[in-house]
Amino acid sequence: MDKTEKFWDKAAKNYGTTEERFAHIHSKARDKTTEHLKSTDVVLDYGCGTGTKSCELANFVGKILAIDISGEMIELAEAEGSANAIENVCFEQTTIFDKALERDSFDVVMAFNMLHTVPNLQSVVKRIHEILKPGGRFISNTLFGREEVFLS
Ligand SMILES: C[S@@+](CC[C@H](N)C(=O)[O-])C[C@H]1O[C@@H](n2cnc3c(N)ncnc32)[C@H](O)[C@@H]1O
């Protein structure tokens, strides 16, 4: 298990509390995101955490693959999906560099509150571009210095 996975596995247990504390940021991101989604979209939720956003946005799109490096986060996300009877979201413990994620395969890649945590941002952005279909959309909110920014 690598250091990042270990860190986020440990954070998973109390992540719900963090989500509650930053509920205003989460709801703003969710509401802005819906403006950019279509009912047929195939979506990747990168760094999905406990799956809250995937579950909240599931009704707005065709289907979502939600991935996270942390097995503990994915367990909680799967429980959230089952509790809400969400059928078009699939949760998987993996990274964006997984070869199973094919070139030109997603209409939308979302990355909420996580890009500031990746050490290799340039290669991550390159990879996001690679797996997006031509004309696909990348939606993210992340910390930028002391500011929170929303990109789409
Ligand atoms: C601050 S949480 C954000 C979770 C969720 N997107 C949200 O908005 O609530 C960051 C998440 O990114 C995941 N993560 C960090 N580095 C990752 C990587 N290299 N690949 C996949 N997931 C990663 C962590 O495990 C964690 O669940």
- Percentage of the residues of the chain whose pLDDT score is greater than 90: 78
DSSP secondary structure string for all residues of 115-138: GGG-S-HHHHHHHHHHHEEEEEEE
CA distances from 36 to 1, 23, 28, 62, 107 (A): 36, 21, 13, 13, 11
pLDDT over threshold 80, residue 110: yes
Distance from the alpha carbon of residue 115 to the mean position of ligand 1, in angstroms: 8
Confidence of residue 22 (pLDDT cuts 50, 70, 90): confident
Distance from the alpha carbon of residue 68 to the mean position of ligand 1, in angstroms: 6
Q: What is the pTM of this model?
A: 0.94
* Domain total of the chain: 1
Kindly report the CATH number assigned to the domain that includes residue 61.
Answer: 3.40.50.150
Residue from 22, 117, 120 whose mutation best tests the ligand 1 pocket (most atoms within 8 A of CB):
117
Rounded to a whole number of angstroms, the distance between the first and last alpha carbons of the chain is 33
CA-wise closest residue to 49 among 87, 81, 83: 81
Domain range enclosing 11: 3-151
* pLDDT tens column, 88-108: 999 999 999 999 999 999 999
Question: Would you state the pLDDT for residue 146?
Answer: 56
Question: Would you state the pLDDT for residue 39?
Answer: 98
